[in-house]
Structure 1
Amino acid sequence: MSIQLTDNVSKAARRDILDLDQKINSFRSGDIADEAFRKFRLTRGVYGQRQPGVQMIRIKLPYGRITADQLIRIADLSDRFATGNLHATTRQDIQLHFVKLGDSPQLWAELEDAGITLKEACGNTVRNVTGSARAGIDPLEPFDISPYAFSIFDYFLRNPICQDMGRKFKISVSSSEKDSAYGFMHDVGLVPRMQDGQRGFKVMLGGGLGAQPFPAQTAFEFLAEEKVIPFIEGVIRVFDRYGERVKRHKARMKYLLNDIGLDELLRRVEEETLALRVQTLPIAEKLIYPTTVGIDDLTPSASPIPTSDNPKFNTWLRTNVFEQKQSGWYAVQLRVLLGDMPADTARALAQLVKQYAADDIRVTVNQGYLLRFVRPEHLPDLFTALDTLGLAEPGFDTTADITTCPGTDTCNLAISSSYGITRALEVLMRDEFPDIVFNDDIKIKISGCMNGCGQHSVANIGYHGSSLKNGAYVLPALQVLLGGGFNGKGEGLIADKVIKIPSKRGPESLRTLLRDYEANGFDGEYYSDYYARQGKNYFYQLLKPIADLKTLVDSDYIDWDHTEQYVTEVGVGECASVLIDLVATTLTEAGEKLDWSREALAEGRWADAIYHAYNTFITGAKAALMSRDIPTNTQHGIVSDFDKTFAGVSSPNGADFHEAEGDFKTLVFSINKQEPAETFARQFVAQAEAFLPAIQAYRESQIELEGLPVLQELSQAKDS
């Protein structure tokens, strides 16, 4: 089936979509190995599910912004290609599940027609740029960060410096000092500040979650706004060059920062300054993102909010509605259980937005939605309409509003159910702690495994899926984490792992924790401060009876939402096998990068041409080292090892790789010694054009002398 593309699809997106379609066909015919295809499709937002033959599609929404028509388009596509469900994530994306691989190009084409992309929503690149949902209307903000979040997203989209990094890279932009976008757990976290009348940001570096969470370190208390994007580019270039690439669990920026220290990292970033695409990039004057599209009359209403004797409306008003910094206008926050919204509900919500609010919906970091610029006199009618859709549950972003990942419902990595325990905990709080919908201090977050998509490590009370062994039997478990999130000083904290308990005892653990806090917490004491005051051992002893395996019952061996006995498994996976020549595959990648370099050169994109040429050197050198069974790691290590190994070696095509040790390193790392101007770009690309054929000739000669290589067996995904 040919892909239908409209005139609204940009040239760059058109090529990406057709390229995805072509790669899918090559993959099905066995011409491309799984590892190469996996890297390719992930950076196009196509992610293999736990179930064989279907994909999760991640839709990239910078700072969570979406219009009513875009929401309708996603809902319609979910009905056509997926399950009719829209899953909001903690990174303000929307995910569609159970999509056939072959349908993903057409789905993407129809998203691009509506101004939405999948590009770089997954994979080892810059992921979605998250931002405070309240940006632009936040009473506490020094200025609207929306244009900055969008510009960061736009600058790094399809940028050569971040297309093939060792691991993913995450950026957040908060709207105020409250850091509601959780900058302290990001590779780069930005908090807006004013200094002497100038806009700028506090800059944090090297935060991250996963099995070993790290809080970010403060690089600058204030960096002028026009220097922020160039600085981030420098950080990414350093991470790309020096970051781990083989040991996946050590490949995040947080480990590089931990290894070399902040001062050394900043020194290396400074070394990149000359080579940056731009030295400064002012934003505020360049882009003012519309926040009130769809409002015919911007005159604020002088009407008060109508009174009501409906207790649910009054509770909803207190917990889900706030007055914007624009006096007379109100924002409405939607609590969405599990982050899941049926397509019909999404379409109905879009119509309510068109009727009552600005055409500027924000997906929130706690998996809800925020509507903006609602008149006070419209709040009762909007509440009634939302309540009919099941979208007027009180307690948005309170203790009762749990953040969770999909867990074993769809994820390959999940160990136990996230959705089931989330439902059970929310029922517990509704029945036994009804007033908890007014508590916005304690945040509960749940992940299906230690990787942290549910952000359990920055929760005041967190859980992640695990397992426990009891004799010959295994049961589903929850690792309990406490003390993360924000304390009374507004400081972001990483939670402690306290104890592991059987999953079915999750409600009992939460009941115990909440009752203990009610009984022993000081008036107004933040939960994380209470945890710090009592200490980890206090909570270990408190929860220890719940962890006692001597008191297990049969139901403890069955996970939430299941009826069968629990077994530990990491999904069905994307498996079958294929034999490939890894060196040949790597050389093919190098050739693609050289083609991109030539294309950028022809279009006058000098900085892009230089970086693509740099990647040609790196990938070609990696292939040569692999041909000699020399392990490769960081890009810097590849250059150094190639420099030592191939000094004075001649290619069969008559070219010396380099005459003396140090020459290759000098050549490749000249990338940050020159401005990205035309003369250097043409010279550098020409050198790459000479280098790659020499490597290819060397490999052909090696095969003639030594015979065909032993093919490597890799897993190959199947498509239904």
Structure 2
Amino acid sequence: MTATTTRTRRSRADRPAPDWELVYKRNYIERMKRDRPPLDVRDELPELIARGYEDIPEEDIVRLYWWALAHDKPKMGTFMVRVKVAGGLVTADQVRALARIARTYGRDEAELTTRQGIQLHWVELAQLPAVMADIEAAGLTTNGGEGDTVRNITGCPVTGLTHDEAFDVTPVIREVAEHFYGNAEFSNLPRKHKYTISACTAQCNAPEISDVALIAVEQGGREGFTLRIGGGMTNTPRISRDIGVFIPRADVIEVLEAVTNAWQRDLRYRISRAKARIKFMMDDYGPEGMRAKIEETLGRPLEDGAAPEPKVDADHLGVHEQGQPGLVYVGVPVPSGRVTGTKLEVLADLAESYGGDVRLTRQQNFILGNVPASRVDEVKAVLRDIGFDLDRGRAFGRSLACTSHRFCNYSVAETKGKLEEMLDELTAHYGAEEIGDLAVHVDGCPHACAQHWVGEIGLQGTTTRVEGSDERVEAYDLTVGGGLGTRSAIGRRLLRRVPTTEINGVMDRLVGSWLDERNRRGDIDFTLGDFCNARTDEHLIAIANNAEVTAARPDTSVAVRVPGPLLSLVGGEDRVEVQAATVGEAVEAVADRFPEFRATVLPGGTVDRAFLVAIGDEDVRGLEGMATPVQPGTDILIIAALSGG
């Protein structure tokens, strides 16, 4: 009898660290950053403009990301420009400047982001130097809005206004932003890196899904922070973990440097971009090991501490008293985050009229701060006149949608318009008040910029074939049961490839069944997440499809997921199902069906350097390469070497 052995893969923390030679051999983007530092591309803009858009090398298009400049879809010469707004706090003058910039360069369109920033589209190549100069003249920046940098620093949008926060962290956010934004030492990171800093008792800033989260506390009569690390979205989402330390307020920048350096100096996290985020370091080391690495980098031990749990849930929508007598803040839902320069101009004038400010939220809304209580009715009337009706419904302010396939090259399905369409129908059917606590997150691709994994209902765009034909239509994978705050959870995938013509009905049946159960219980706090978590997948699928409960059928195929920019090579099919026993067999099967895919992704029979092949977040080069075995139901991902928002 022949003995069988089981291979146990070691954590990367236990493996010998690679050297830079191996990093440069395996990672094309690291070679590019070494040879042509991306921040230098700004000085090269006049030359690129003189060449013309069509003659700019793809490598230079990638380098522009470090200045938050990304080409719009289709690639016709216009750009998205993303503005960083530390903590989401902008003055009336800055809002007015953004309004003028949107009108001048962005066809009067703009969108609020899930990182409390704002971004434009339609900006022409020749306008990039001017738009960047105008943004900087307003005291804002695009530096590091994309690329391997410290991204926009987020926080609770009403910090400094509430009764119950430990202390006002606004000065800390500003200090951290001033130190890290544009800092060359932190602009060549393994991947993007996201900080959030807050004293909000509801933890509305989503520390659970941030790379690094500072949560304000008082300990021993001192102001400071606890530290969570390792949250993130994309294909394999993670909830961040508390590493058990207390950081005095004065030590914040020093400790953030140590956290970031412990990660960026460990070359294990530069070998493959599929495994480069700090969440994978947390996977490998765990909270205790992560703390030890940070302390080693810092050169001293950290004090013990414990991150508090959120006490309540809050979205800051509506009118709320501030800690300052006679003042309120007004949280305004912005459906899908869409605004215009014209509307921003009105908001600037309104805020200036009472000496207030504007605060952008991670839910793609805005808050008017420091509003005199005596002027609330007037403020609400002005907002209503420009299309921001506080009575439209909280679900419009709690739900998120990514940029969508109108502009994003990776998105394969409509998001913003689809979200508003679904919410309008649900509101008409059940009433704005009834669905007010609903949070629907809609993404156009697996990058999860709208965080579909933590929506009570999450939709991820895909495509499907019309039955009986070769026509492909937009569709959605559906997850349920996600949440943040006191109900923090990663959602579970329930349905795949629901056609866009059917998804509204699926949503209506799920929401209707939840509301029926909530009313039967007489429990207003019974959420859709509670409803889904109390039922099996088979039961929920039956509700969604208006069918009898049946046992799940086994999936015997594997799927190769193709990113948006390559869809033209595979007939628009973003998820190609094949029968295969290994990764190589699966990718070859796709290449056999689509010769243009082979020529682009597998030239000469090997994967082109511009792409990675992964299972989940595992680069197959770290497994058994293209010989890696796959089981039925596996998703194999083709990933562009630099992708994601």
Aligned position for 1:541: 542
**1:125 is the counterpart of 2:114:** no
Mapped to 1, the partners of 2:444 and 2:229 lie a distance apart of 26
Q: Secondary structure at the match of 1:436?
A: coil
Q: How does 1:431-450 map to 2 (within 5 A)?
A: 431-436=428-433, 439-440=436-437, 442-450=438-446
- TM-superposed deviation, 1:411: 0.3
Call closer, same or farther: CA 1:385–1:437 in 2, change over 3 Å.
farther
Aligned position for 1:211: 235
Mapped to 1, the partners of 2:245 and 2:292 lie a distance apart of 17
2:214–2:227 contact (8 Å) kept in structure 1: yes
Which sections of structure 2, spanning at least 5 residues, go unmatched?
Answer: 1-38, 304-315, 551-569, 575-599, 601-618, 623-639
- TM-superposed deviation, 1:535: 3.9
Call closer, same or farther: CA 1:504–1:401 in 2, change over 3 Å.
farther
2:334–2:396 contact (8 Å) kept in structure 1: no
Q: Which amino acid aligns with 1:444?
A: V
- TM-superposed deviation, 1:342: 1.6
- TM-superposed deviation, 1:164: 1.4
- TM-superposed deviation, 1:216: 0.6
Mapped to 2, the partners of 1:64 and 1:17 lie a distance apart of 27
Aligned position for 2:480: 482
Mapped to 1, the partners of 2:62 and 2:530 lie a distance apart of 43
Aligned position for 1:231: 255
- TM-superposed deviation, 1:421: 1.2
Aligned position for 1:322: 320
Q: Secondary structure at the match of 2:116?
A: coil
1:395–1:438 contact (8 Å) kept in structure 2: no
**1:336 is the counterpart of 2:359:** no
Aligned length: 503
Call closer, same or farther: CA 1:17–1:397 in 2, change over 3 Å.
farther
2:330–2:368 contact (8 Å) kept in structure 1: yes
- TM-superposed deviation, 1:420: 2.6
Call closer, same or farther: CA 1:239–1:28 in 2, change over 3 Å.
farther
- TM-superposed deviation, 1:371: 0.6
Mapped to 1, the partners of 2:426 and 2:440 lie a distance apart of 12
Call closer, same or farther: CA 1:545–1:432 in 2, change over 3 Å.
closer
- TM-superposed deviation, 1:546: 8.2
Q: Which amino acid aligns with 2:364?
A: Q
2:394–2:432 contact (8 Å) kept in structure 1: no
- TM-superposed deviation, 1:399: 6.0
Mapped to 1, the partners of 2:247 and 2:93 lie a distance apart of 37
2:402–2:444 contact (8 Å) kept in structure 1: yes
1:366–1:397 contact (8 Å) kept in structure 2: no
1:357–1:371 contact (8 Å) kept in structure 2: no
Q: Secondary structure at the match of 2:534?
A: helix
Q: Secondary structure at the match of 1:370?
A: strand
* Partner residue of 2:158 out of 134, 138, 141: 134
Q: Secondary structure at the match of 2:472?
A: strand
Call closer, same or farther: CA 1:344–1:372 in 2, change over 3 Å.
same
Mapped to 1, the partners of 2:55 and 2:185 lie a distance apart of 27
Aligned position for 2:295: 270
Deviations 1:609-632 (A, max 9, x none): xxxxxxxxxxxxxxxxxxxxxx9x
Deviations 1:434-458 (A, max 9, x none): 2436733x31111111211111111
Q: Secondary structure at the match of 2:119?
A: strand
Mapped to 2, the partners of 1:199 and 1:396 lie a distance apart of 37
Mapped to 2, the partners of 1:202 and 1:93 lie a distance apart of 25
Q: Secondary structure at the match of 2:130?
A: helix
Q: Secondary structure at the match of 2:513?
A: helix
* Partner residue of 1:75 out of 86, 99, 106: 99
2:453–2:482 contact (8 Å) kept in structure 1: yes
Aligned position for 2:424: 427
Aligned position for 2:284: 259
Deviations 1:643-698 (A, max 9, x none): xxxxxxxxxxxxxxxxxxxxxxxxxxxxxxxxxxxxxxxxxxxxxxxxxxxxxxxx
Q: Which amino acid aligns with 1:520?
A: E
Q: How does 1:170-249 map to 2 (within 5 A)?
A: 170-220=194-244, 222-242=246-266, 243-249=268-274
**1:457 is the counterpart of 2:482:** no
Mapped to 2, the partners of 1:399 and 1:390 lie a distance apart of 13
- TM-superposed deviation, 1:244: 3.0
Aligned position for 1:104: 128
**1:496 is the counterpart of 2:492:** yes
Deviations 1:390-435 (A, max 9, x none): 1223256536652111210100110111023112112112211224
Aligned position for 2:592: none
- TM-superposed deviation, 1:262: 2.8
Mapped to 1, the partners of 2:641 and 2:216 lie a distance apart of 45
Q: Secondary structure at the match of 1:484?
A: coil
Q: Which amino acid aligns with 1:48?
A: H
* Partner residue of 2:80 out of 56, 66, 77: 56
1:333–1:396 contact (8 Å) kept in structure 2: no
Mapped to 2, the partners of 1:69 and 1:29 lie a distance apart of 33
- TM-superposed deviation, 1:25: 4.9
**Greater CA drift, 88-97 or 386-395:** 386-395
Deviations 1:284-314 (A, max 9, x none): xxxxxxxxxxxxxxxxxxxxxxxxxxxxxxx
Q: Secondary structure at the match of 1:408?
A: coil
Q: Secondary structure at the match of 1:493?
A: coil
* Partner residue of 1:509 out of 506, 511, 525: 506
Which sections of structure 1, spanning at least 5 residues, go unmatched?
Answer: 1-14, 281-317, 549-565, 571-576, 578-630, 635-713
* Partner residue of 1:352 out of 343, 350, 353: 350
Decide which structure has greater helix share: 1
Q: Secondary structure at the match of 2:67?
A: coil
Call closer, same or farther: CA 1:111–1:29 in 2, change over 3 Å.
closer
Mapped to 1, the partners of 2:326 and 2:71 lie a distance apart of 47
Aligned position for 1:41: 64
1:395–1:401 contact (8 Å) kept in structure 2: no
2:456–2:481 contact (8 Å) kept in structure 1: yes
Call closer, same or farther: CA 1:77–1:421 in 2, change over 3 Å.
same
Q: Which amino acid aligns with 2:450?
A: G
Q: Secondary structure at the match of 1:372?
A: strand
- TM-superposed deviation, 1:495: 1.2
* Partner residue of 1:568 out of 565, 569, 572: 572
- TM-superposed deviation, 1:191: 1.8
Mapped to 2, the partners of 1:66 and 1:77 lie a distance apart of 15
- TM-superposed deviation, 1:322: 1.0
Mapped to 2, the partners of 1:104 and 1:398 lie a distance apart of 36
Deviations 1:326-367 (A, max 9, x none): 232111122222211121111111111111351x21111111
Q: Secondary structure at the match of 1:354?
A: helix
- TM-superposed deviation, 1:503: 1.9
1:209–1:455 contact (8 Å) kept in structure 2: yes
Q: Which amino acid aligns with 1:324?
A: Q
Aligned position for 2:629: none
Call closer, same or farther: CA 1:94–1:498 in 2, change over 3 Å.
same
Q: How does 1:15-30 map to 2 (within 5 A)?
A: 19-22=43-46, 24-25=48-49
Aligned position for 2:532: 531
Aligned position for 2:178: 154
Q: Secondary structure at the match of 2:243?
A: strand
Mapped to 1, the partners of 2:345 and 2:427 lie a distance apart of 28
2:199–2:217 contact (8 Å) kept in structure 1: no
Q: Which has the higher contact order (CA 8 A, sep 6+)?
A: 1
Mapped to 2, the partners of 1:362 and 1:512 lie a distance apart of 36
2:363–2:400 contact (8 Å) kept in structure 1: yes
Q: Secondary structure at the match of 1:75?
A: helix
Deviations 1:580-616 (A, max 9, x none): xxxxxxxxxxxxxxxxxxxxxxxxxxxxxxxxxxxxx
Q: Which amino acid aligns with 1:84?
A: D
Mapped to 2, the partners of 1:29 and 1:454 lie a distance apart of 29
Mapped to 1, the partners of 2:134 and 2:96 lie a distance apart of 12
- TM-superposed deviation, 1:42: 0.8
Mapped to 2, the partners of 1:62 and 1:218 lie a distance apart of 24
Mapped to 2, the partners of 1:422 and 1:31 lie a distance apart of 37
1:200–1:222 contact (8 Å) kept in structure 2: yes
Mapped to 2, the partners of 1:345 and 1:567 lie a distance apart of 40
2:333–2:396 contact (8 Å) kept in structure 1: no
Q: Which amino acid aligns with 1:339?
A: G
Q: Which amino acid aligns with 1:257?
A: M
Q: Which amino acid aligns with 2:249?
A: E
Identity of aligned residues (%): 24
Q: Which amino acid aligns with 1:172?
A: T
